[in-house]
Amino acid sequence: MRESVDKFLNYMTVERGVSPNTISAYRNDLSQLIEFVEGLGPEYRNGDGWRGVDAQTVASYLLHLHKRGYSDTTRARKVASAKSMFGFLVEEGIVDNDPTANVSTPRLGRSLPDTLTIDEVDTLLSAPTGYGPETDRDRAMLELLYASGIRVGELVSLNLDDVSLDQGAVRCFGKGSRERMVPIHDHAAAVIRAYLERGRPALARAGSGAALFLNHRGLRLSRQGFWLILKQWAVRSGVHKRITPHTLRHSFATHLLRGGAPLRHVQELLGHASITTTQVYTHLTSEHVRTEYEKAHPRAG
């Protein structure tokens, strides 16, 4: 169970850019949940006990928290931690169902994904200027992320034969090893082609294998490596927003929906197992519609 929690926390740190304080709170909350579950019987201590957790287990845990005198705010945070983790476990295929799906908690405000405007995306993607192997690589990675909406873990896992520039598509393996083909536009394909022709050959070493994106040692670039690269270009771009590895994915989804793309299509592109995961973006697009309405209606404001 703790191994799965470690995977979740690593995902939240590297791909979602969650702060150390929040990660510490997650770890404490989930450690408390593990202690409760393991106390239910030895069957939960063998293998991955998360598969044995059902809605009744969660209800018992909530009662346990109530009996211990935790405030509504604290209980809401602990349940939110469990919800986030089970959402991750379902997406990863570690568990089949989310036992927290029907659990309601006190409303403490909705946390929506950070997004960039189209102009801010253009500014960020234009930051890597000039030529050089690493600049070619960084430009290709940023363009590909925004063109496809793939996760950072999927990006750094790409191999050479996963990219078909002639067809304008990328094959990636998402959570639970689900394979999907994602289209990319011509400009992104051209930037990736330039990296393949100039950048990658200069970075490649004997041990590079089939990895698409390489670090300065010629090895497959890691998620942590990409995080450092992104922070560098975010600072240089001058975009005054917190930009995490997930920001371009969020922006991709939001901009597609605002442009009229059906929710189901965006779900397929993002590789979400459930459309409810994708629906968070409809809140962002609704806010956008409201803002545009207020600007445009002659009697608004």
281 is an active site residue? yes
Q: Which of 77, 78, 175, 255 is catalytic?
A: 175
11 is an active site residue? no
195 is an active site residue? no
Q: Which of 151, 200, 250, 255 is catalytic?
A: 151
pTM over 0.75: no
Q: Are 103 and 170 in contact (CB under 8 A)?
A: no
3-class secondary structure per residue, 97-157: CCCCCCCCCCCCCCCCCCCCCHHHHHHHHCCCCCCCHHHHHHHHHHHHHHHHCCCHHHHHH
**DSSP class per residue in 175-240:** GGG-EEEEE--HHHHHHHHHIIIIIHHHH--TT-TTBSSB-TTSSBPPHHHHHHHHHHHHHHHT--
Q: Are 161 and 210 in contact (CB under 8 A)?
A: yes
Domains of the chain: 2-92 (1.10.150.130), 118-287 (1.10.443.10)
246 is an active site residue? yes
Q: How far apart are CA 77 and CA 98, in angstroms?
A: 17
The pLDDT value recorded for residue 109 is: 47
Confidence of residue 108 (pLDDT cuts 50, 70, 90): very low
Percentage of the chain beyond pLDDT 70 is 84
Lowest mean pLDDT among 15-24, 39-48, 97-106, 170-179: 39-48
Q: Which of 26, 44, 61, 281 is catalytic?
A: 281
